[in-house]
Structure 1
Amino acid sequence: MIFYPLSLAVLAIWLVLILRRLDDGFVLAIALLPFGMFAALALPALGGLSIIASSLVAALTGGLVIVASLLGRGAPVLTASTLVLGFYAAYAAFSAVVLVRLFAGQFEVFTLARSMKGVQINPFFSSVPVPLRPGSSNISQSFYILLSFLVFLTFKDSLRRRGIAWGDRALVMAGTLNIVLALMDMARLDPILAQVRTATYALANEQTMGGFARVIGGYSEPSAFGGASAAFFAYFTAAFIGRRRGRDLALGAGNGLCTIAALSATGLFAMGVVGLMILVGALPSILRPQQRLVVIGSIVGICLFLAGTCLLLAFTPLPDLAASLFERIFLAKAESSSGIERKAWALSGFAAFRETWGLGAGAGSLRSNGLVAVLLGSVGLPGTLALATFLWLAVGRSWRGAEAGTFQAARAGVVAMLAAAGLSGTSPDPGLLMITFCAIACAIREHPDVATPARAEARPLPGRRAGHGRTA
């Protein structure tokens, strides 16, 4: 096991937080989400598996919350969304342990291990198909999916106790740090960023497009950074429309610029989808007769924007530059080596779905592309239906009660992540950021009194005397 030195500082901060209030460990886990390449430790015995710092902190906090509940803190409330996600996690683990062995050797897949040797079937990409077999990726993917369930179960219950504003503040910290890391990447502070780029992923921080350097922030590649930035853009932009707070507007705009700076088809597509959704949802409130000042301000803003756009088009080479970037990012993507490789991955996922009679080859058994192909190939029809049901229960229906603005923001964040995963997703794990959005949405819907923070509890941590630490 390899333990990175900076992880000690993270664990020290985590320890201080949980000694104050146990649930505050989740705040640190969410704040660390933009550090997508910051591994707390690596496990060479499991194929070099990297445990990301945010995942480690979330696992430790969730585990302690469960222990505290067993010692009298109060068990988390089980709802329909929790049970459905629990079924999805259980089936994913079952598929990774049983199904991959049941179908082993019966057909070929593209594995998650880049170092796998085999016959190259296409000169345009390096991925090679090999017979299906169990591997370390089955363990890692099962761990992350089970972690997603643990975080949803415990974090949603903490939101019920602490109030939605507490969870929103954690996302504000994450959105702010995402912008800071992007600025550091733009400034080429690679020696500093190297301290938080410790995962064993391939680092793609030298890519350019149209003469522009692609920004990756705290992630390993532009696609991952663009997708996460689009999700933060969606959350804070929708939050601003619902709550009219300048902080949300600044964070939405900042993360929107981060999405553009990544020059990633994944991020830009997600940003476009969620931007259209937010615009359509906001039009009725903007055009209400009783909000005349809002209407006037909107008209003036649109006129200024159109005038500025016309000036840019008339007196700058922006049209040619934008057309060139659009062609490179979207139109030529399918014909690029990356596009051809991802198409092969997607077809492999659908083939695995057919070969396993719809059961799936197992979480972590194959590399596919696109959310539908990934889910069907990995966890089959049962897992796909379970995850779809969970998402419907979380954000599928609108909410008009208390904290409606925050609910719409969480819903927009989920839509952005689904759009990104639908285009370039490679894992059946929902991810901690999506789980955070879903937990907030479900807490609002399932516990209407969550808008008012509960009174801080004075119970000490298990094993500590009263007065030396509290949980909440």
Structure 2
Amino acid sequence: MIFYPLSLAVLGIWLVLILRRLDDGFTMAIALLPFGMFAAIALPAVGGLSVIASSLVAALTGGLVIVASLLGRGAPVLTAPTIVLGIYAAYAAFSAVVLVRLFSGQFEVFTLARSVQGVRINPFFASVPVPLRPGSSNISQTFYILLSFLAFLTFKDSLRRRGVAWGDRALAIAGTLNITLALMDMAKLDPILEQVRTAKYALANEQSMGGFARIIGGYSEPAAFGGASAAFFAYFMAAFFASRRGRDLVLGVGNGLCTIAALSATGFFAMGMAGMLIFFTALPAILRPQRRLVVIGSIVGVCLFVSGICLLLAFTPLPDVAGSLFERIFLAKADSSSGIERKAWAMSGFTAFLETWGLGAGAGSLRSNGLIAVLLGSVGLPGTLALAAFLWLSVGRSWRGAEAGTYQAARAGVVALLAGSALSGTSPDPGLLMIVFCAIACAIREHQEVPAPARAGAPAPREGRAGLGRTA
């Protein structure tokens, strides 16, 4: 086991927080999400597995919450989304232990290990197909999927106790840090960022497109940074349309600019899909009759925006630059070496699905591309249906009760993450950020649908908007 220099500092801060209040460990885990390449520890005995700091802190906090529940704090509530996610995690573990051995050697896959040697089937990319076999990636992927279940179970329970406003503040810290890391990357502060880029991932911090440097913030590549930034953009912009808080607008715009700076098709697609959802969700409020001052201000704002765009188009090379970037990011992407490689990964996932009779080759058994191909190839139809059911139960249905704005924000964040994964996802793990969004949405629904039993002599609850977020 290898500890990195900042790991002890992270664990020290975490210890101080949980001694004050155990749930505050989740605040730190969420705040560390933008540090997507910050490995707290490495496990050489498990194929060099790097445990990301946010995942380690979430696992330690979730484990202590379970221990505290056994000692009398009260067991976490097992609702339908929790049970379905538990089924998904159990099947993923079963696939990684049993199915990969059952189908071992029967067909070829692209593995998650980049160091695998073999005969290239295409000169344009380095990935080589090898016979399916168990490996350290089965262990690592199973760990992260089980962690997602543990985090959802315990974090949602903490939200029910403390209110969604607490989770919203933690996401605001994460969104701020994501912007800060992007600014540091723009400023070329690599000596500082090297301290939090410790994971054994391929670092792509020198890429450019159309003469513009691609920003990666605290992540290893533009696609990962763009996808995460798009999710933060979606959450805070949806929250702004519901609350009109200046903080949400600043964080939404800031993370939107981070998405653009990544120059990633994943980020742009995720931001576009989430933007459409936000627009159609906010449309009834936009069309509702407004006060005269609001109408005049909106008209003036739109006119200034359109005028600015016209001036940029007329007196700058922006159209040529934008056209060139659009062609390279979207139109030429499929014919690039990266696009060809990802198509081969996707086909490998579908092949694994067919070769295993729809059961899947096992979590961590293969490298695929695109959410559907990854899920079908890794956890098969049973796992895919279980994860789809979990997402539907969490954010699939509309909500118009208390904290509806925060619910819509969490749903927009999930849509952004799903859109990004549909384009470039490579893992069947939902990811900690998606789990946070789903936990917030479920906590809002469950607080309203499953009220706590009244205590003897307690006053009756008042009607109105005294929702979950007011208890923080």
Normalised by the length of structure 1, the TM-score is 0.95
Contact 2:231-2:416 within 8 A present in 1 as well: yes
Contact 1:175-1:251 within 8 A present in 2 as well: yes
| Aligned residue number for residue 272 of structure 1 | 272
1:350 aligns to 2:367 (yes or no): no
1:22-421 mapped onto 2 (5 Å cutoff): 22-421=22-421
Contact 1:39-1:196 within 8 A present in 2 as well: yes
The 2-side partners of 1:226 and 1:299 are apart by 32
Q: Return the offset for 1:294.
A: 3.7
Contact 1:286-1:294 within 8 A present in 2 as well: no
**Unpaired segments ≥5 residues, structure 1:** 456-472
- Give the counterpart letter for 1:99 in structure 2: L
Contact 2:364-2:378 within 8 A present in 1 as well: yes
The 2-side partners of 1:257 and 1:99 are apart by 43
Contact 1:162-1:454 within 8 A present in 2 as well: yes
1:443 aligns to 2:443 (yes or no): yes
Percentage of pairs with the same residue:
85
Q: Return the offset for 1:454.
A: 4.9
The 2-side partners of 1:345 and 1:85 are apart by 26
Q: Return the offset for 1:140.
A: 0.2
Contact 1:28-1:54 within 8 A present in 2 as well: yes
The 1-side partners of 2:197 and 2:368 are apart by 25
| Aligned residue number for residue 463 of structure 1 | none
**Unpaired segments ≥5 residues, structure 2:** 452-466
Q: Return the offset for 1:5.
A: 1.4
- CA deviation string 1:284-311 (max 9, x = no partner): 1011014554443333222211111011
SS of 2:116's equivalent in the other structure is: coil
1:14 aligns to 2:14 (yes or no): yes
SS of 2:42's equivalent in the other structure is: strand
SS of 2:429's equivalent in the other structure is: coil
The 2-side partners of 1:409 and 1:162 are apart by 19
Contact 2:376-2:384 within 8 A present in 1 as well: yes
- Give the counterpart letter for 1:209 in structure 2: M
- Give the counterpart letter for 2:468 in structure 1: A
The 2-side partners of 1:410 and 1:208 are apart by 32
Q: Return the offset for 1:279.
A: 1.2
Normalised by the length of structure 2, the TM-score is 0.95
Contact 1:239-1:405 within 8 A present in 2 as well: yes
Q: Return the offset for 1:18.
A: 0.3
The 1-side partners of 2:39 and 2:297 are apart by 46
Q: Return the offset for 1:402.
A: 0.5
Q: Return the offset for 1:41.
A: 0.5
CA 1:390–1:402: 2 relative to 1, 3 Å: same
CA 1:227–1:452: 2 relative to 1, 3 Å: closer
Contact 1:162-1:453 within 8 A present in 2 as well: no
The 2-side partners of 1:378 and 1:362 are apart by 5
Q: Return the offset for 1:453.
A: 5.2
- CA deviation string 1:80-131 (max 9, x = no partner): 0000000000000000000000000000000000001111000000000000
Deviates more, 1:282-291 or 1:22-31: 282-291
- CA deviation string 1:411-441 (max 9, x = no partner): 0000000000000000000000000000000
CA 1:133–1:250: 2 relative to 1, 3 Å: same
The 2-side partners of 1:213 and 1:412 are apart by 28
CA 1:293–1:405: 2 relative to 1, 3 Å: farther
Contact 2:226-2:267 within 8 A present in 1 as well: yes
- CA deviation string 1:165-216 (max 9, x = no partner): 0000000000000000000000000000000000000000000000010000
SS of 2:51's equivalent in the other structure is: strand
The 2-side partners of 1:293 and 1:190 are apart by 48
The 2-side partners of 1:243 and 1:341 are apart by 43
Q: Return the offset for 1:452.
A: 4.9
Q: Considering only aligned residues, what root-mean-square deviation do their CA atoms show, in Å?
A: 1.0
Q: Return the offset for 1:35.
A: 0.2
Equivalenced residues, count: 455
Contact 2:403-2:469 within 8 A present in 1 as well: no
The 2-side partners of 1:292 and 1:81 are apart by 45
Q: Return the offset for 1:343.
A: 0.2
Q: Return the offset for 1:281.
A: 1.5
Contact 1:346-1:374 within 8 A present in 2 as well: yes
Contact 2:108-2:131 within 8 A present in 1 as well: yes
SS of 1:447's equivalent in the other structure is: helix
The 2-side partners of 1:180 and 1:392 are apart by 33
SS of 2:444's equivalent in the other structure is: helix
Contact 1:287-1:295 within 8 A present in 2 as well: no
| Aligned residue number for residue 467 of structure 1 | none
The 1-side partners of 2:293 and 2:468 are apart by 29
Q: Return the offset for 1:357.
A: 0.2
SS of 2:367's equivalent in the other structure is: coil
Contact 1:178-1:217 within 8 A present in 2 as well: yes
The 2-side partners of 1:65 and 1:226 are apart by 32
